Amino acid sequence: MESCSIELQFLEGKTIFITGVTGYLANILTEKILRVQPNVKKLYLLIRAPDSNSAKHRFNNEVLKTDLFRVLREKLGANLHSFIEDKVSLVPGDIACDSLDEMCREVDIIVNSAATTRFDERYNTAISINALGAMHVVEFSKQCSKLKMLLHVTYVSGEKEGLILEKPLNYGKTLNGSSVLDIQVEQRLVEEALKDLQVRQATGKEVTLAMKVLGIERARLHGCPNTYSFTKAMGEMLLGHFKEDLRLIILRPPIILSTYKEPFPGWIEGMRTIDTFIVGYGKGKQKVAIGGRDSIADVIPADMVVNSVIAAIIAHQNPSSHTVVYHISSSRSKQLKLDDFIQIGIDYFKKNPWIDERGKPVKMKKFHLLDSMESLHKYIGIHYMPALKILKWTNSILCQHLQAQYANLERRINDAIRLAELYRPYAFFKGVFDDTNAEMLMRESNADDTLNFDPTTIQWEKYLMETHIPGVVKYIF
């Protein structure tokens, strides 16, 4: 514990700017710093809000009052409010706003975790936040006279197999290597598409759908599974290309789960990709999914990611213009197979059935893991399409009196196919993320439990059964 305390001294008296506050990871990072290093000078927290009062309201309700801050509230008691007033300064708006001049003279460290994480986000929105937002961060960073480093949290995954190295992304080079990525061309495509939709007087719903479709199409053309990972790749490229002599640290976690230990086990906010199965199956609404039994469920607890952020900040306190990439991943050193994840979920709800709103335990159904999209279409054709056809026929006879029931079933079928297609690259993922740099960081930081991010210390079945799934049930169900 003593060595870790010495390491954390680096944060003493430092001013840290964190973007993406109210987001899952940024909230845990904020809580951790305030709890383990109360002598930090200042945390500037960027919150998307129109003014200071709105930012304060969001921070109090969406961050400070959540269960995540329970340990800090208990630790400080009546002194919490004055402590927060002294240590935290809220910045309303976004990184492109003009009111950051004073702050840029004070900031020592920037942690950029701002992102829109929807896989099928509108392309114009995703480019604005994930790509151009990163560009604004690097431009602001270059104005900060005291800045020691910029740490950027990202997630970049193609659909390739084999070992994925801890290397920076080259500007303009796609993940599949089959084309050249010109980010300005992508921006023009968005602008032209929006103009065309405006000329055609498209409805808001039509614009949203068109932008979502365009994003997925462009992502897959360039070797990315979805709009989120594609625009995050753009952002990383822009950072690397325009950083000049900035110290840049790229940190790439996989799917982030609930907290492993800190501030307490099982905290989670918002549904992670892989948790759609837990929620759907646990509530008795899902009995089928697609995926390869040997596919790798590359996941990591949220507090381990936050620990790695702090460890990387401490390790890179000496000036350098070198870019370092860390994969905070479990796929190489502590693999969890998708089939095992699903079986653990099934076993959990057999022992601990969810009690529904009527006070009755949900009966667990036999679960089917299908090995392809073709198998899913066949399954739907056998189990759901006959009912849909009968409902359609009956609805026509009864003068559309069953229209709501018909539309609901049709929507559920279409949603199931859409989500399966969206998650397909992850359900059949065979890649392994090299974590050699992350292992070196672990050794250099001499991390005990306070900064532990070693995936080999995780017992997956125990963590999922006793921590993660109960957390999902408590905070998301």
Query: Amino acid letter at 269?
Result: E
What letter does residue 60 receive in the DSSP assignment?
Answer: I
The interaxial angle of helices 403-427 and 385-397, nearest 10 deg, is 160
Catalytic residue among 228, 260, 326, 463: 228
The pair of three-digit structure tokens given for residue 294, joined into one six-digit string = 């040997």
Q: Token match 């500007």: residue?
A: 171
Catalytic residue among 232, 281, 406, 426: 232
Rg (CA), the chain: 23
**CA 29, CA 33: separation in Å to the nearest integer?**
6
The pair of three-digit structure tokens given for residue 391, joined into one six-digit string = 């409902």
**CA 166, CA 146: separation in Å to the nearest integer?**
28
Query: Amino acid letter at 468?
Result: H
Q: Are 139 and 98 in contact (CB under 8 A)?
A: no
Q: Are 312 and 249 in contact (CB under 8 A)?
A: yes
Residue 228 annotated as catalytic: yes
Q: Are 328 and 304 in contact (CB under 8 A)?
A: yes
Task: Name the pairing type of β-strands 324-327 and 248-252.
Answer: parallel
Query: Which residues are catalytically annotated?
Result: 228, 232
